[in-house]
A and B are shown apart, each in its own frame.
Chain A
């Protein structure tokens, strides 16, 4: 699925990486627990999370995750966006809950890791 399709499905604001919207991601993972995200072996995925802090961006950086959706209408702050930009990430912000966002993307064909 292209990142721009994900943004459309989630009615999301693109706060970083508007130039990356044509990139494809195959899988999605939803978690507020960075401890869990760090144990994943997959990397071409989009992370959906309500954990909106610098550590979420750092975790994605280390895990080679190139796109994050922040759910529940939470906004990334400037230091987070700076770090995301430095790492060439795409940051989306959706007004929907983690459950609804995950469900909509699953329905649209985004695959789970497991």
Chain B
């Protein structure tokens, strides 16, 4: 809804993620879930969003050194940017294939590393963009529209 004051509301949330820190992975997703519930977004949409965000968080923890989560919510959609400093993804098309994984033994011992995360993020979002530079890091942008 556009009025004299522009968009009805914009809500921003920012979190940081530490590479290797599985204990705190999921905190941003958990907070976003609470906010979306308060905004009365339907359950299926919330589940799609937090699953995709949790996958992205776990990827930073599992594959990168550190990262940030920037969330912007307005009345029609949620836009999430997960950017990390890390090794980057040399071949994004290959990484998007179900089953492709370079996860370490330690990551697999935590119950991850099946190469399902990126395809699952694709499935759970309306828009997914990945940019990556080898040796620098990766940025994932996800958009979900509220129905």
Contact = CB atoms under 8 A, between A and B. Distances in A.
B86 interface: no
B96 to A, nearest CB: 14
A62 B144 CA distance: 16
Contacts, number: 67
Contacts of B115: 35
Nearest to A57: B26
A59 B114 CA distance: 15
A55 B50 contact: no
Interface in A23-59: 32-36, 38-39, 43, 49, 51, 53-56, 58-59
A53 B111 contact: yes
B33 A61 contact: yes
A54 B23 CA distance: 7
B114 A36 contact: yes
A86 B111 CA distance: 22
Interface in A66-110: 79
B100 to A, nearest CB: 12
Interface of A: 32-36, 38-39, 43, 49, 51, 53-56, 58-59, 61-64, 79
Given A35-B120, A38-B120, 16 more contacts: A34-B110, A34-B111, A35-B111, A35-B114, A35-B116, A35-B117, A36-B114, A36-B116, A38-B54, A39-B123, A49-B111, A53-B22, A55-B25, A58-B26, A59-B54, A63-B51
CB-based closest 8 A-B pairs: A58-B26, A35-B114, A34-B111, A51-B111, A35-B116, A62-B54, A62-B50, A39-B120
